[in-house]
Amino acid sequence: MEKWHMETSKVELLRVYDNVRIRLKTGISPISLDFPQTKYYAFKIKYSNPIEDISPKFECLIDNRVIGTTYFSDRNSMIDTLGIQLIAKGRHRLEGRTMFEPAQPIDYIEITSVDRVVERPLFSFITLTDTHILNKTIHTPSPTEELYSGYIPMYDHYDHDVNQFPHPANWINGMLYQKAPEIMEEVIKNIEELNPNFVIHTGDLVGEIRESAKAAKYFLDRLPCPYYIARGNHDNKDYVLSVFGKIFKDKLSFNHKGFHFIILDSCYFLSNDKVFPWPREEFNNEKFEGLIIPEEELKWLENNLSRHRDMPIFLFFHIPLVMSDNYPHPYDMRLHHYKKVLDVLDKYSNVKAIFSGHSHINDLAVRKDVYHFQTSSLIEYPMCYRQVVIFPSHIEVRTYQISGEFLQESFLTTPDNIFKEAPNGWVIGRNDNLYSEIL
């Protein structure tokens, strides 16, 4: 099949047929691509003139959907496969980003049609996490003033002056607590365009301030669909419960079009064999052992799983159970008793995927045919959320990223003599098999 060779600087609209090769001079400036039919396409990039000791630092997006990233590529050849995606008929915006760090020179990007049956989706949902919405305003003269004037960093060391950092507590990444309203406005707009059946937030919805829960509810109530919440370790149980009421529960399950969904609270504090909700003001006086799902909740989970053996099951909670082999986080972020929880889940082959947050990165680990997705925070790079599309024969997990304006603001440039062993390249997350056949 014929391949087109184009300079992106010379075209404003490129029509995509079966195979297209777009030759580049530097990165990919935004370009409009017209796809004549809805099909699956594979995306590849080819590097030119390799530079020693510089790894690829590139991500490719269509309409803010992350097609793939080479941030963690072990490049043994000059060509990297970015991923396979279903692209709808019509005009789409293609762009490439070499965010923050030097990248290998790119020769071209190749788009190739894939012979795969296109099915009509059954339904879709959005999962997002770690929005950390904060509001310190204690008076409420108007909704606008209450929601938009009081967003602050949670801790003093989340400051844009890296010289004040006592340690890389936020992994050399700017935490945009102050930008929470603007970020949420964009996320809501994007979700409206995707038109999901429901949204599930996997925790750290707010900060540890009561007014933050009110601000969060203001935004979530504007979603175009029902939403559900799994509590995170920064979600004060009393505050969130008092604002969200029946929407917020320790454990929740529901069915949707032949699938079963389970939402759990994984943020209970374990100390000297005592269990209580986190956060707790006096926790500094206790010996912290880890965050767990309490025994009563685990018994409820096993009973729930046993009653839904004939349905595909998704689980949602804040603290992850499994990390990939190349997990880039410097700390073990798993549940304290993750092995015990996995022992329960291993009895049920119909558990298909688990979605969590907490670590603020994108990661995908596959264990015993169960897909464990972690999704990044929305207040620091890479600022992503997931769309899960259910088809009759498979499931596709798509990763979306918010606009470049916020991405640039969230990155901190560090002097060479600070955090030499804490490079920030990993924060983009893994290329986590964005097309995932898990049924």
Q: Is residue 435 part of a domain?
A: no
Work out the average pLDDT over 52-70.
Answer: 72
Angle CA 54–359–101, to nearest 5 = 20
| 325 pLDDT higher than 60 | yes
434, 364, 438, 437: which is closest to 68 by C-alpha? 434
Q: Is residue 438 part of a domain?
A: no
Residue 57 binned pLDDT confidence (cut-offs 50, 70, 90): low
pLDDT at residue 436, as a whole number: 35
Work out the average pLDDT over 66-90.
Answer: 72
Domain of 243, in residue numbers:
123-428
pLDDT at residue 121, as a whole number: 95
Q: Is residue 95 part of a domain?
A: yes
Residue 230 binned pLDDT confidence (cut-offs 50, 70, 90): very high
- 109 and 43 Cβ atoms separated by less than 8 Å: yes
113: its two tokens: 């049609």
DSSP bridge partners of 364: 373
| 364 pLDDT higher than 50 | yes
Structural domain tally of the chain? 2
| 157 pLDDT higher than 60 | no
Q: Any idea which residue has 């809501």 for tokens?
A: 188
Q: Is residue 142 part of a domain?
A: yes
Task: Let me know whether 14 and 155 are in one domain.
Answer: no
Q: Is residue 436 part of a domain?
A: no
Cis amide linkage into residue 382, ω under 30° from 0: yes
Question: What's the whole-number average pLDDT of the chain?
Answer: 75
Q: What is the CATH number of the domain that holds 394?
A: 3.60.21.10
Task: Let me know whether 333 and 212 are in one domain.
Answer: yes
Domain boundary among 92, 114, 136: 114
Q: Is residue 434 part of a domain?
A: no
At 391-421, the pLDDT tens digits run 999 999 999 998 767 776 766 544 443 333 3
| 337 pLDDT higher than 70 | yes
pLDDT at residue 237, as a whole number: 82
At 96-119, the pLDDT tens digits run 776 555 555 677 788 889 899 999
Task: Let me know whether 165 and 79 are in one domain.
Answer: no
Maximum average pLDDT range among 5-9, 146-150, 408-412? 408-412
pLDDT at residue 160, as a whole number: 35
Instruction: Determine phi and psi for 220, rounding to 5 degrees.
Output: -65, -35
Domain boundary among 114, 138, 167: 114
Maximum average pLDDT range among 105-119, 141-155, 311-325? 311-325
Cis amide linkage into residue 121, ω under 30° from 0: no
47, 58, 44, 23: which is closest to 106 by C-alpha? 47
Task: Let me know whether 34 and 168 are in one domain.
Answer: no
At 242-262, the pLDDT tens digits run 888 877 788 899 999 999 999
Residue 181 binned pLDDT confidence (cut-offs 50, 70, 90): confident
